[in-house]
Amino acid sequence: MTTNAEISSPGREKLEENLAKVEQLTQRLLGALASHKPINSALGGPDPMLYAQAVTAYWQDWMKNPTKVFEQQVGYWGKSLQHYLEANQALAEGKLTPPDDTGPTDKRFGNPLWDSHPYFNFIKQQYLINAGAISAAVDQIEELDPTEKRRLRYFAQQITDMMAPTNFFATNPDALQKAIETEGESLVKGLENLVTDLEANNGELVVRLVDEEAFEVGGNIATAQGKVVWRNRMMELIQYSPTTETVHDIPVVIFPPWINKYYILDLKPQNSLIRHIVDQGYTLFVVSWVNADASYRDVGLEEYIEDGYLTAMRLVREICGTKQVNAVGYCIAGTTLALTLSLLKKRGDKQVKSATFFTTLTDFSDQGEFVPFLQNDFIDGIEKEIEISGILRSFIMSRTFSFLRSTDLIYTPAIRSYMMGETPPAFDLLYWNGDGANLPGKMTMQYLRGLCQRNEFAEGRFELMGETLDLRDVDVPLISIAAETDHIAAWKDCFRGVQRMGSKSKRFILSESGHIAGIVNPPSKKKYGHYLNPDLKLSADDWQAQADFHEGSWWPTWEAWLSKRSGKKVPARTPGDSDHPVLCDAPGTYVRIRANQ
Protein backbone atom coordinates (compact mmCIF):
# COMPACT_ATOMS: atom_id res chain seq x y z
CA MET A 1 0.00 0.00 0.00
CA THR A 2 1.28 3.46 -0.88
CA THR A 3 1.23 6.09 1.88
CA ASN A 4 0.81 9.82 1.41
CA ALA A 5 4.48 10.29 2.28
CA GLU A 6 5.43 8.14 -0.69
CA ILE A 7 3.34 10.10 -3.16
CA SER A 8 5.52 12.21 -5.39
CA SER A 9 4.74 14.46 -8.32
CA PRO A 10 6.47 17.42 -9.96
CA GLY A 11 3.71 19.75 -8.83
CA ARG A 12 3.35 18.59 -5.21
CA GLU A 13 5.71 21.15 -3.68
CA LYS A 14 4.16 23.97 -5.68
CA LEU A 15 0.69 22.81 -4.69
CA GLU A 16 1.61 22.77 -0.99
CA GLU A 17 3.18 26.21 -1.34
CA ASN A 18 0.00 27.54 -2.94
CA LEU A 19 -2.15 25.96 -0.22
CA ALA A 20 -0.07 27.73 2.42
CA LYS A 21 -0.60 31.02 0.62
CA VAL A 22 -4.34 30.37 0.51
CA GLU A 23 -4.36 29.96 4.31
CA GLN A 24 -2.57 33.29 4.79
CA LEU A 25 -4.83 35.08 2.31
CA THR A 26 -7.91 33.62 3.97
CA GLN A 27 -6.95 35.31 7.24
CA ARG A 28 -6.48 38.61 5.42
CA LEU A 29 -9.82 38.10 3.68
CA LEU A 30 -11.60 37.63 6.99
CA GLY A 31 -9.93 40.74 8.35
CA ALA A 32 -10.95 42.83 5.34
CA LEU A 33 -14.55 41.63 5.54
CA ALA A 34 -14.65 42.40 9.28
CA SER A 35 -13.86 46.06 8.54
CA HIS A 36 -16.77 46.37 6.11
CA LYS A 37 -19.21 49.18 6.87
CA PRO A 38 -22.31 48.49 4.79
CA ILE A 39 -23.91 51.40 2.97
CA ASN A 40 -27.60 52.17 3.15
CA SER A 41 -29.50 49.08 1.99
CA ALA A 42 -31.71 51.27 -0.22
CA LEU A 43 -28.71 51.79 -2.51
CA GLY A 44 -28.28 48.05 -3.06
CA GLY A 45 -31.52 47.38 -4.90
CA PRO A 46 -35.04 48.61 -5.59
CA ASP A 47 -37.78 48.92 -3.02
CA PRO A 48 -39.31 45.42 -2.50
CA MET A 49 -42.63 46.96 -3.54
CA LEU A 50 -41.39 46.89 -7.14
CA TYR A 51 -41.32 43.10 -7.10
CA ALA A 52 -44.62 42.96 -5.21
CA GLN A 53 -46.20 45.12 -7.90
CA ALA A 54 -44.73 42.87 -10.58
CA VAL A 55 -46.16 39.76 -8.94
CA THR A 56 -49.57 41.43 -8.62
CA ALA A 57 -49.48 42.53 -12.26
CA TYR A 58 -48.41 39.04 -13.37
CA TRP A 59 -51.30 37.52 -11.38
CA GLN A 60 -53.74 39.97 -12.94
CA ASP A 61 -52.48 38.96 -16.38
CA TRP A 62 -53.00 35.32 -15.41
CA MET A 63 -56.60 36.00 -14.39
CA LYS A 64 -57.36 38.09 -17.49
CA ASN A 65 -55.58 36.00 -20.07
CA PRO A 66 -54.50 32.60 -18.70
CA THR A 67 -53.84 31.32 -22.21
CA LYS A 68 -51.02 33.80 -22.77
CA VAL A 69 -49.35 32.98 -19.45
CA PHE A 70 -49.69 29.22 -19.95
CA GLU A 71 -48.27 29.59 -23.45
CA GLN A 72 -45.22 31.40 -22.11
CA GLN A 73 -44.66 28.87 -19.32
CA VAL A 74 -45.23 25.82 -21.49
CA GLY A 75 -42.88 27.25 -24.08
CA TYR A 76 -40.15 27.57 -21.46
CA TRP A 77 -40.82 24.08 -20.07
CA GLY A 78 -40.79 22.64 -23.57
CA LYS A 79 -37.44 24.20 -24.50
CA SER A 80 -35.86 23.08 -21.24
CA LEU A 81 -37.22 19.54 -21.49
CA GLN A 82 -36.19 19.17 -25.12
CA HIS A 83 -32.74 20.45 -24.27
CA TYR A 84 -32.44 17.93 -21.41
CA LEU A 85 -33.68 15.00 -23.49
CA GLU A 86 -31.29 15.76 -26.34
CA ALA A 87 -28.35 15.84 -23.95
CA ASN A 88 -29.38 12.55 -22.31
CA GLN A 89 -29.94 10.88 -25.65
CA ALA A 90 -26.45 11.86 -26.77
CA LEU A 91 -25.00 10.41 -23.56
CA ALA A 92 -27.01 7.20 -23.92
CA GLU A 93 -25.63 6.76 -27.41
CA GLY A 94 -22.11 7.30 -26.14
CA LYS A 95 -21.77 10.58 -28.01
CA LEU A 96 -19.76 13.01 -25.94
CA THR A 97 -20.40 15.74 -28.48
CA PRO A 98 -22.59 18.83 -28.42
CA PRO A 99 -25.75 19.05 -30.55
CA ASP A 100 -25.64 20.29 -34.11
CA ASP A 101 -27.27 23.54 -33.00
CA THR A 102 -24.97 24.94 -30.30
CA GLY A 103 -27.21 27.93 -29.64
CA PRO A 104 -26.82 31.67 -30.24
CA THR A 105 -23.52 33.45 -29.96
CA ASP A 106 -22.74 35.68 -26.98
CA LYS A 107 -19.44 37.47 -26.33
CA ARG A 108 -19.33 36.07 -22.80
CA PHE A 109 -19.05 32.58 -24.26
CA GLY A 110 -15.98 33.13 -26.42
CA ASN A 111 -14.10 30.02 -25.33
CA PRO A 112 -14.55 27.29 -28.03
CA LEU A 113 -15.43 24.79 -25.28
CA TRP A 114 -18.81 26.50 -24.86
CA ASP A 115 -19.74 25.07 -28.24
CA SER A 116 -17.48 22.01 -28.58
CA HIS A 117 -17.82 20.46 -25.13
CA PRO A 118 -21.22 18.88 -24.31
CA TYR A 119 -21.08 19.82 -20.59
CA PHE A 120 -20.34 23.50 -21.18
CA ASN A 121 -22.67 23.73 -24.15
CA PHE A 122 -25.55 22.30 -22.10
CA ILE A 123 -24.92 24.89 -19.36
CA LYS A 124 -24.67 27.75 -21.85
CA GLN A 125 -27.84 26.85 -23.71
CA GLN A 126 -29.87 26.30 -20.55
CA TYR A 127 -28.72 29.65 -19.17
CA LEU A 128 -29.77 31.42 -22.37
CA ILE A 129 -33.15 29.63 -22.26
CA ASN A 130 -33.65 30.75 -18.65
CA ALA A 131 -32.60 34.33 -19.42
CA GLY A 132 -34.94 34.47 -22.40
CA ALA A 133 -37.85 33.18 -20.32
CA ILE A 134 -37.30 35.83 -17.63
CA SER A 135 -37.10 38.58 -20.24
CA ALA A 136 -40.26 37.34 -21.96
CA ALA A 137 -42.15 37.16 -18.67
CA VAL A 138 -41.30 40.78 -17.88
CA ASP A 139 -42.22 41.94 -21.38
CA GLN A 140 -45.64 40.28 -21.12
CA ILE A 141 -46.65 42.06 -17.92
CA GLU A 142 -49.25 44.64 -18.93
CA GLU A 143 -50.81 45.90 -15.69
CA LEU A 144 -47.73 47.79 -14.54
CA ASP A 145 -46.77 51.46 -14.71
CA PRO A 146 -44.39 51.99 -17.70
CA THR A 147 -41.65 53.47 -15.50
CA GLU A 148 -41.91 50.60 -13.02
CA LYS A 149 -41.88 48.09 -15.87
CA ARG A 150 -38.74 49.72 -17.23
CA ARG A 151 -37.12 49.39 -13.80
CA LEU A 152 -38.26 45.78 -13.48
CA ARG A 153 -36.76 44.98 -16.86
CA TYR A 154 -33.45 46.52 -15.78
CA PHE A 155 -33.24 44.68 -12.47
CA ALA A 156 -34.33 41.40 -14.07
CA GLN A 157 -31.48 41.81 -16.53
CA GLN A 158 -29.08 42.48 -13.66
CA ILE A 159 -30.15 39.20 -12.04
CA THR A 160 -29.67 37.19 -15.23
CA ASP A 161 -26.29 38.84 -15.87
CA MET A 162 -25.17 38.03 -12.33
CA MET A 163 -26.20 34.37 -12.72
CA ALA A 164 -24.27 33.83 -15.97
CA PRO A 165 -22.24 30.59 -15.76
CA THR A 166 -19.10 32.52 -16.67
CA ASN A 167 -19.29 34.16 -13.23
CA PHE A 168 -18.77 30.86 -11.38
CA PHE A 169 -15.52 28.92 -11.23
CA ALA A 170 -17.03 25.45 -11.74
CA THR A 171 -18.76 26.54 -14.94
CA ASN A 172 -16.08 28.77 -16.45
CA PRO A 173 -13.78 26.80 -18.78
CA ASP A 174 -11.26 29.66 -19.01
CA ALA A 175 -10.79 29.74 -15.24
CA LEU A 176 -10.64 25.95 -14.95
CA GLN A 177 -8.07 25.64 -17.71
CA LYS A 178 -5.93 28.41 -16.22
CA ALA A 179 -5.99 26.76 -12.78
CA ILE A 180 -4.82 23.44 -14.24
CA GLU A 181 -2.12 25.04 -16.38
CA THR A 182 -0.71 27.00 -13.43
CA GLU A 183 -1.13 24.22 -10.83
CA GLY A 184 -3.48 26.39 -8.84
CA GLU A 185 -1.31 29.50 -8.87
CA SER A 186 -3.94 31.48 -10.78
CA LEU A 187 -6.41 30.88 -7.95
CA VAL A 188 -3.91 32.08 -5.37
CA LYS A 189 -3.23 35.24 -7.38
CA GLY A 190 -6.95 35.70 -7.85
CA LEU A 191 -7.58 35.43 -4.13
CA GLU A 192 -4.78 37.89 -3.50
CA ASN A 193 -6.36 40.34 -5.96
CA LEU A 194 -9.71 39.92 -4.20
CA VAL A 195 -8.23 40.52 -0.75
CA THR A 196 -6.25 43.54 -1.99
CA ASP A 197 -9.38 45.11 -3.46
CA LEU A 198 -11.35 44.53 -0.26
CA GLU A 199 -8.57 45.95 1.91
CA ALA A 200 -8.26 49.02 -0.33
CA ASN A 201 -11.97 49.78 -0.01
CA ASN A 202 -12.70 49.11 3.66
CA GLY A 203 -14.27 45.74 2.98
CA GLU A 204 -16.42 46.98 0.09
CA LEU A 205 -15.94 44.97 -3.10
CA VAL A 206 -14.89 47.42 -5.81
CA VAL A 207 -13.27 45.58 -8.71
CA ARG A 208 -9.94 47.17 -9.59
CA LEU A 209 -9.92 47.82 -13.33
CA VAL A 210 -6.38 49.10 -13.77
CA ASP A 211 -2.83 48.81 -12.47
CA GLU A 212 -2.75 51.98 -10.38
CA GLU A 213 1.00 51.77 -9.85
CA ALA A 214 1.55 52.41 -13.57
CA PHE A 215 0.44 56.05 -13.50
CA GLU A 216 1.32 59.26 -11.72
CA VAL A 217 -0.69 62.46 -12.11
CA GLY A 218 1.79 65.07 -13.28
CA GLY A 219 4.31 62.32 -14.04
CA ASN A 220 3.13 60.36 -17.06
CA ILE A 221 -0.43 61.72 -17.29
CA ALA A 222 -1.73 65.31 -16.96
CA THR A 223 1.61 66.72 -18.12
CA ALA A 224 0.63 69.72 -20.26
CA GLN A 225 2.67 72.76 -19.20
CA GLY A 226 0.78 75.33 -17.15
CA LYS A 227 0.51 77.12 -13.84
CA VAL A 228 -2.08 77.38 -11.08
CA VAL A 229 -2.89 81.10 -10.91
CA TRP A 230 -5.73 81.02 -8.37
CA ARG A 231 -7.03 78.81 -5.61
CA ASN A 232 -10.10 79.03 -3.40
CA ARG A 233 -12.21 76.54 -1.48
CA MET A 234 -13.93 75.25 -4.64
CA MET A 235 -11.28 75.15 -7.33
CA GLU A 236 -7.80 75.75 -8.66
CA LEU A 237 -7.58 77.76 -11.88
CA ILE A 238 -4.89 76.54 -14.28
CA GLN A 239 -3.58 78.73 -17.09
CA TYR A 240 -1.68 76.77 -19.73
CA SER A 241 1.59 77.98 -21.23
CA PRO A 242 1.36 79.11 -24.85
CA THR A 243 2.97 77.13 -27.66
CA THR A 244 2.40 79.77 -30.37
CA GLU A 245 3.76 83.31 -30.69
CA THR A 246 0.30 84.79 -31.03
CA VAL A 247 -3.08 83.79 -29.65
CA HIS A 248 -6.72 84.69 -30.14
CA ASP A 249 -7.72 87.67 -28.05
CA ILE A 250 -10.71 86.06 -26.32
CA PRO A 251 -9.57 83.28 -23.95
CA VAL A 252 -11.13 79.86 -23.45
CA VAL A 253 -12.08 78.49 -20.03
CA ILE A 254 -13.06 74.84 -19.59
CA PHE A 255 -15.25 73.65 -16.73
CA PRO A 256 -14.82 69.85 -16.44
CA PRO A 257 -17.19 67.67 -14.40
CA TRP A 258 -16.45 67.43 -10.67
CA ILE A 259 -17.55 63.80 -10.55
CA ASN A 260 -14.11 62.93 -11.97
CA LYS A 261 -10.84 64.81 -12.46
CA TYR A 262 -10.16 67.30 -15.24
CA TYR A 263 -7.20 65.40 -16.69
CA ILE A 264 -9.42 63.26 -18.89
CA LEU A 265 -8.66 66.13 -21.27
CA ASP A 266 -4.90 65.64 -20.81
CA LEU A 267 -4.18 61.93 -20.39
CA LYS A 268 -1.19 61.90 -22.71
CA PRO A 269 0.22 64.20 -25.41
CA GLN A 270 -1.30 62.24 -28.31
CA ASN A 271 -4.91 62.61 -27.16
CA SER A 272 -4.79 65.78 -25.06
CA LEU A 273 -7.56 68.21 -25.95
CA ILE A 274 -5.85 70.74 -23.68
CA ARG A 275 -2.64 70.58 -25.72
CA HIS A 276 -4.63 70.71 -28.96
CA ILE A 277 -6.46 73.90 -27.98
CA VAL A 278 -3.22 75.59 -26.90
CA ASP A 279 -1.49 74.51 -30.11
CA GLN A 280 -4.26 76.13 -32.15
CA GLY A 281 -3.39 79.50 -30.67
CA TYR A 282 -5.76 80.01 -27.72
CA THR A 283 -5.14 81.20 -24.19
CA LEU A 284 -6.59 78.29 -22.24
CA PHE A 285 -7.72 78.09 -18.62
CA VAL A 286 -9.05 74.92 -16.98
CA VAL A 287 -10.80 74.62 -13.64
CA SER A 288 -9.60 71.82 -11.35
CA TRP A 289 -12.34 71.21 -8.78
CA VAL A 290 -11.71 70.31 -5.17
CA ASN A 291 -12.49 66.74 -4.09
CA ALA A 292 -15.24 67.31 -1.53
CA ASP A 293 -15.15 65.89 1.98
CA ALA A 294 -17.69 66.01 4.81
CA SER A 295 -16.96 69.69 5.44
CA TYR A 296 -18.62 70.44 2.07
CA ARG A 297 -21.96 69.04 3.24
CA ASP A 298 -23.78 72.39 2.76
CA VAL A 299 -22.12 73.37 -0.52
CA GLY A 300 -24.69 73.69 -3.27
CA LEU A 301 -24.90 74.68 -6.91
CA GLU A 302 -24.79 78.27 -5.66
CA GLU A 303 -21.17 77.85 -4.51
CA TYR A 304 -20.17 76.07 -7.70
CA ILE A 305 -21.57 78.96 -9.74
CA GLU A 306 -20.42 81.86 -7.54
CA ASP A 307 -17.02 80.58 -6.37
CA GLY A 308 -16.40 78.44 -9.44
CA TYR A 309 -17.88 79.69 -12.71
CA LEU A 310 -18.28 83.41 -12.01
CA THR A 311 -15.01 83.69 -10.12
CA ALA A 312 -13.08 81.79 -12.80
CA MET A 313 -14.51 83.87 -15.63
CA ARG A 314 -13.79 87.11 -13.75
CA LEU A 315 -10.18 86.04 -13.15
CA VAL A 316 -9.71 84.97 -16.76
CA ARG A 317 -10.96 88.35 -17.98
CA GLU A 318 -8.72 90.20 -15.53
CA ILE A 319 -5.60 88.24 -16.45
CA CYS A 320 -6.22 88.54 -20.18
CA GLY A 321 -7.63 92.07 -20.15
CA THR A 322 -10.77 91.11 -22.08
CA LYS A 323 -14.46 91.78 -21.53
CA GLN A 324 -15.57 88.29 -22.57
CA VAL A 325 -14.60 84.63 -22.47
CA ASN A 326 -15.50 81.53 -24.45
CA ALA A 327 -16.79 78.96 -21.95
CA VAL A 328 -16.81 75.16 -22.24
CA GLY A 329 -18.73 72.78 -19.96
CA TYR A 330 -18.43 68.98 -19.91
CA CYS A 331 -21.25 66.72 -18.63
CA ILE A 332 -22.60 67.98 -15.27
CA ALA A 333 -20.35 71.02 -15.64
CA GLY A 334 -22.10 71.74 -18.94
CA THR A 335 -25.47 71.54 -17.19
CA THR A 336 -24.20 74.01 -14.60
CA LEU A 337 -22.75 76.25 -17.33
CA ALA A 338 -26.27 76.45 -18.77
CA LEU A 339 -27.60 77.41 -15.31
CA THR A 340 -24.89 80.09 -15.09
CA LEU A 341 -25.79 81.47 -18.51
CA SER A 342 -29.44 81.71 -17.48
CA LEU A 343 -28.40 83.55 -14.33
CA LEU A 344 -26.23 85.98 -16.34
CA LYS A 345 -29.15 86.60 -18.70
CA LYS A 346 -31.34 87.55 -15.74
CA ARG A 347 -28.63 89.95 -14.59
CA GLY A 348 -28.03 91.46 -18.02
CA ASP A 349 -24.40 90.27 -17.96
CA LYS A 350 -22.79 89.52 -21.34
CA GLN A 351 -19.34 88.34 -20.25
CA VAL A 352 -19.70 85.01 -22.12
CA LYS A 353 -19.04 85.35 -25.84
CA SER A 354 -19.92 81.73 -26.70
CA ALA A 355 -20.68 78.45 -24.97
CA THR A 356 -19.60 74.92 -25.85
CA PHE A 357 -21.30 71.91 -24.29
CA PHE A 358 -19.72 68.45 -24.21
CA THR A 359 -22.18 65.56 -23.63
CA THR A 360 -24.47 67.86 -21.64
CA LEU A 361 -27.98 67.12 -20.39
CA THR A 362 -30.29 70.05 -19.69
CA ASP A 363 -33.70 68.50 -20.38
CA PHE A 364 -34.38 65.49 -18.15
CA SER A 365 -37.91 64.74 -19.34
CA ASP A 366 -36.61 61.33 -20.45
CA GLN A 367 -34.27 59.90 -17.83
CA GLY A 368 -32.93 57.27 -20.20
CA GLU A 369 -30.91 54.43 -18.73
CA PHE A 370 -30.91 56.16 -15.34
CA VAL A 371 -34.64 55.56 -14.82
CA PRO A 372 -33.94 52.70 -12.35
CA PHE A 373 -31.82 55.01 -10.18
CA LEU A 374 -33.86 58.22 -10.32
CA GLN A 375 -36.98 57.01 -8.54
CA ASN A 376 -37.75 57.91 -4.95
CA ASP A 377 -36.54 54.70 -3.33
CA PHE A 378 -32.99 55.21 -4.61
CA ILE A 379 -32.95 58.99 -4.19
CA ASP A 380 -34.28 58.61 -0.65
CA GLY A 381 -31.45 56.15 -0.01
CA ILE A 382 -28.89 58.64 -1.31
CA GLU A 383 -30.40 61.33 0.89
CA LYS A 384 -30.00 59.12 3.97
CA GLU A 385 -26.43 58.34 2.97
CA ILE A 386 -25.72 62.07 2.71
CA GLU A 387 -27.30 62.76 6.10
CA ILE A 388 -24.72 60.41 7.60
CA SER A 389 -21.58 61.23 5.61
CA GLY A 390 -22.29 64.73 4.28
CA ILE A 391 -21.26 63.67 0.77
CA LEU A 392 -22.19 61.22 -1.94
CA ARG A 393 -19.12 59.02 -1.89
CA SER A 394 -17.33 58.45 -5.16
CA PHE A 395 -17.56 54.67 -5.12
CA ILE A 396 -21.38 54.80 -4.91
CA MET A 397 -21.55 56.80 -8.13
CA SER A 398 -18.89 54.64 -9.75
CA ARG A 399 -20.82 51.49 -8.87
CA THR A 400 -24.03 52.95 -10.29
CA PHE A 401 -22.38 53.83 -13.60
CA SER A 402 -20.71 50.40 -13.73
CA PHE A 403 -24.02 48.55 -13.32
CA LEU A 404 -25.29 50.24 -16.48
CA ARG A 405 -22.69 48.07 -18.25
CA SER A 406 -22.28 45.34 -15.64
CA THR A 407 -20.92 42.62 -17.94
CA ASP A 408 -18.12 44.84 -19.26
CA LEU A 409 -17.36 46.88 -16.12
CA ILE A 410 -18.00 44.44 -13.27
CA TYR A 411 -18.26 40.76 -14.13
CA THR A 412 -15.65 40.45 -16.88
CA PRO A 413 -12.96 42.36 -14.90
CA ALA A 414 -13.85 40.34 -11.79
CA ILE A 415 -13.46 37.07 -13.70
CA ARG A 416 -10.07 38.08 -15.04
CA SER A 417 -8.83 39.35 -11.69
CA TYR A 418 -10.31 36.88 -9.18
CA MET A 419 -10.74 33.66 -11.15
CA MET A 420 -7.87 33.98 -13.62
CA GLY A 421 -5.45 35.79 -11.30
CA GLU A 422 -4.56 38.36 -13.95
CA THR A 423 -3.03 41.73 -13.11
CA PRO A 424 -5.28 44.61 -14.19
CA PRO A 425 -4.05 46.38 -17.33
CA ALA A 426 -2.03 49.61 -17.35
CA PHE A 427 -4.68 51.69 -19.12
CA ASP A 428 -4.70 55.44 -18.53
CA LEU A 429 -8.40 55.90 -19.27
CA LEU A 430 -9.35 53.27 -16.69
CA TYR A 431 -6.97 54.86 -14.18
CA TRP A 432 -8.76 58.19 -14.62
CA ASN A 433 -12.13 56.43 -14.38
CA GLY A 434 -11.16 55.04 -10.98
CA ASP A 435 -9.86 58.39 -9.73
CA GLY A 436 -13.29 59.70 -8.85
CA ALA A 437 -14.46 62.51 -6.61
CA ASN A 438 -17.08 62.89 -3.91
CA LEU A 439 -20.09 65.15 -4.35
CA PRO A 440 -21.25 67.68 -1.70
CA GLY A 441 -24.53 66.68 -0.07
CA LYS A 442 -26.60 69.79 -0.81
CA MET A 443 -25.45 70.03 -4.43
CA THR A 444 -26.23 66.34 -5.00
CA MET A 445 -29.82 66.66 -3.83
CA GLN A 446 -30.38 69.89 -5.79
CA TYR A 447 -29.23 68.10 -8.91
CA LEU A 448 -31.15 64.86 -8.33
CA ARG A 449 -34.42 66.36 -7.08
CA GLY A 450 -34.68 69.66 -8.92
CA LEU A 451 -33.02 68.90 -12.24
CA CYS A 452 -33.25 65.12 -12.77
CA GLN A 453 -36.53 64.23 -11.08
CA ARG A 454 -38.58 67.41 -11.51
CA ASN A 455 -36.89 68.77 -14.65
CA GLU A 456 -37.33 72.30 -13.28
CA PHE A 457 -34.66 74.00 -15.41
CA ALA A 458 -36.07 72.83 -18.73
CA GLU A 459 -39.54 73.81 -17.55
CA GLY A 460 -38.39 77.29 -16.52
CA ARG A 461 -38.90 77.04 -12.76
CA PHE A 462 -35.54 76.23 -11.16
CA GLU A 463 -35.06 78.53 -8.16
CA LEU A 464 -31.44 79.46 -7.47
CA MET A 465 -29.54 82.48 -6.19
CA GLY A 466 -32.63 84.65 -6.02
CA GLU A 467 -33.65 83.97 -9.62
CA THR A 468 -35.95 81.58 -11.46
CA LEU A 469 -33.69 79.97 -14.05
CA ASP A 470 -34.99 78.88 -17.42
CA LEU A 471 -33.26 76.84 -20.13
CA ARG A 472 -34.70 79.23 -22.73
CA ASP A 473 -32.54 82.01 -21.25
CA VAL A 474 -29.42 80.36 -22.72
CA ASP A 475 -29.14 82.69 -25.70
CA VAL A 476 -25.41 83.10 -26.40
CA PRO A 477 -23.95 81.54 -29.57
CA LEU A 478 -23.48 77.89 -28.69
CA ILE A 479 -22.33 74.55 -29.98
CA SER A 480 -23.11 71.16 -28.44
CA ILE A 481 -21.17 67.96 -28.99
CA ALA A 482 -22.85 64.67 -28.06
CA ALA A 483 -21.75 61.06 -28.54
CA GLU A 484 -23.72 58.44 -30.46
CA THR A 485 -23.38 55.53 -28.01
CA ASP A 486 -23.19 57.58 -24.80
CA HIS A 487 -25.06 55.71 -22.03
CA ILE A 488 -24.60 58.50 -19.47
CA ALA A 489 -25.79 61.49 -21.49
CA ALA A 490 -27.81 59.98 -24.34
CA TRP A 491 -27.35 62.08 -27.45
CA LYS A 492 -31.06 62.44 -28.20
CA ASP A 493 -31.60 63.89 -24.73
CA CYS A 494 -28.69 66.31 -25.27
CA PHE A 495 -30.23 67.26 -28.63
CA ARG A 496 -33.62 67.93 -27.06
CA GLY A 497 -32.05 70.27 -24.52
CA VAL A 498 -30.27 72.26 -27.23
CA GLN A 499 -33.54 72.59 -29.11
CA ARG A 500 -35.10 74.25 -26.04
CA MET A 501 -32.27 76.76 -25.58
CA GLY A 502 -33.03 80.31 -26.65
CA SER A 503 -29.95 81.04 -28.77
CA LYS A 504 -30.48 82.12 -32.35
CA SER A 505 -27.03 80.80 -33.23
CA LYS A 506 -26.56 77.17 -32.27
CA ARG A 507 -25.00 74.06 -33.76
CA PHE A 508 -25.05 70.40 -32.87
CA ILE A 509 -22.34 67.83 -33.57
CA LEU A 510 -22.89 64.11 -33.08
CA SER A 511 -19.66 62.20 -32.62
CA GLU A 512 -19.34 58.47 -32.97
CA SER A 513 -18.50 56.38 -29.85
CA GLY A 514 -19.37 57.08 -26.21
CA HIS A 515 -19.20 59.53 -23.30
CA ILE A 516 -15.39 59.67 -23.19
CA ALA A 517 -14.05 58.35 -26.51
CA GLY A 518 -16.56 60.50 -28.39
CA ILE A 519 -14.99 63.61 -26.85
CA VAL A 520 -11.36 62.51 -26.46
CA ASN A 521 -11.06 61.87 -30.19
CA PRO A 522 -7.92 63.53 -31.62
CA PRO A 523 -7.61 64.08 -35.39
CA SER A 524 -4.38 62.09 -35.50
CA LYS A 525 -6.19 58.85 -34.70
CA LYS A 526 -8.65 59.16 -37.61
CA LYS A 527 -10.87 56.80 -35.64
CA TYR A 528 -14.37 58.17 -35.01
CA GLY A 529 -16.34 60.33 -37.41
CA HIS A 530 -19.13 62.82 -36.75
CA TYR A 531 -22.48 63.98 -38.08
CA LEU A 532 -23.46 67.55 -39.00
CA ASN A 533 -26.87 68.99 -39.86
CA PRO A 534 -27.79 72.68 -39.44
CA ASP A 535 -31.54 71.98 -39.13
CA LEU A 536 -32.18 71.69 -35.39
CA LYS A 537 -35.96 71.84 -35.79
CA LEU A 538 -36.08 68.19 -36.86
CA SER A 539 -36.65 65.27 -34.53
CA ALA A 540 -33.45 63.63 -33.35
CA ASP A 541 -33.96 60.61 -35.60
CA ASP A 542 -34.66 62.76 -38.66
CA TRP A 543 -31.73 65.03 -37.83
CA GLN A 544 -29.33 62.08 -37.90
CA ALA A 545 -30.96 60.49 -40.94
CA GLN A 546 -30.53 63.71 -42.93
CA ALA A 547 -27.11 64.65 -41.49
CA ASP A 548 -23.85 64.62 -43.42
CA PHE A 549 -21.32 62.16 -42.08
CA HIS A 550 -17.70 63.30 -41.86
CA GLU A 551 -14.74 61.01 -41.37
CA GLY A 552 -12.45 61.74 -38.45
CA SER A 553 -12.52 63.94 -35.38
CA TRP A 554 -14.92 66.81 -34.76
CA TRP A 555 -12.13 68.87 -33.13
CA PRO A 556 -11.23 70.81 -36.34
CA THR A 557 -14.93 71.51 -36.98
CA TRP A 558 -15.31 72.94 -33.49
CA GLU A 559 -12.09 74.94 -33.74
CA ALA A 560 -13.25 76.54 -36.98
CA TRP A 561 -16.49 77.56 -35.23
CA LEU A 562 -14.63 78.81 -32.16
CA SER A 563 -12.06 80.86 -34.05
CA LYS A 564 -14.80 83.04 -35.54
CA ARG A 565 -15.82 83.99 -31.99
CA SER A 566 -12.36 84.50 -30.55
CA GLY A 567 -11.28 87.90 -31.88
CA LYS A 568 -8.04 89.09 -33.44
CA LYS A 569 -4.60 87.67 -32.74
CA VAL A 570 -2.50 89.19 -29.94
CA PRO A 571 0.93 88.33 -28.47
CA ALA A 572 0.89 85.07 -26.52
CA ARG A 573 0.23 85.40 -22.78
CA THR A 574 2.35 83.74 -20.13
CA PRO A 575 0.47 82.38 -17.10
CA GLY A 576 -0.56 84.81 -14.36
CA ASP A 577 0.33 88.44 -13.77
CA SER A 578 1.37 90.71 -10.91
CA ASP A 579 -2.13 90.59 -9.41
CA HIS A 580 -2.48 86.85 -9.98
CA PRO A 581 0.89 85.30 -9.17
CA VAL A 582 1.73 81.71 -10.01
CA LEU A 583 0.95 79.43 -7.05
CA CYS A 584 2.42 76.18 -8.39
CA ASP A 585 2.90 74.15 -11.54
CA ALA A 586 0.07 72.31 -13.26
CA PRO A 587 -1.62 69.94 -12.59
CA GLY A 588 -1.88 71.60 -9.17
CA THR A 589 -2.77 70.19 -5.77
CA TYR A 590 -6.54 69.58 -5.83
CA VAL A 591 -6.29 66.99 -8.60
CA ARG A 592 -4.06 64.82 -6.42
CA ILE A 593 -6.62 64.46 -3.62
CA ARG A 594 -8.04 60.94 -3.74
CA ALA A 595 -11.63 60.21 -2.76
CA ASN A 596 -12.13 58.38 0.52
CA GLN A 597 -14.07 55.17 0.12
Question: For residue 479, which of 364, 565, 351 has the smallest C-alpha distance?
Answer: 565
The Cα 204–Cα 33 span in angstroms is 8
Residues serving a catalytic function are 331
Q: What is the pLDDT of residues 325-336, one digit of tens each?
A: 999 999 999 999
The answer on pLDDT for 121 being more than 60 is: yes
Question: Model confidence at 42, in pLDDT bands (50, 70, 90)?
Answer: low
Please list the residue range(s) of the chain that carry CATH number 3.40.50.1820. 226-372+436-592
- CA 391 to CA 95: how far, in whole Å? 60
> What residues pair up with 254 in beta bridges, in sequence order?
286, 328
pLDDT, tens only, 171-215: 888 988 888 888 888 888 888 888 888 887 777 777 888 888 899
Per-residue pLDDT of 82-102, as tens digits, reads: 655 666 666 666 666 666 677
pLDDT score of 498 more than 90: yes
Task: Sort 370 into a burial class: Cβ within 10 Å, 0-12 / 13-18 / 19+.
Answer: buried
Give this prediction's pTM. 0.84
pLDDT of residue 464 exceeding 60, the answer is yes
What average pLDDT does this structure show over 555-581? Answer: 97
- Residues 234-255 pLDDT 10s: 999 999 999 999 999 999 999 9
Residue pair 496/504 in contact by the 8 Å Cβ criterion: no
Q: Does domain 226-372+436-592 have CATH number 3.40.50.1820?
A: yes
Give residue-wise pLDDT tens across range 417-437: 988 999 888 889 889 988 989
State the Cα–Cα distance between residues 37 and 204, nearest whole angstrom: 8
The percentage of the chain sitting over the pLDDT mark of 70, rounded to a whole number, equals: 85
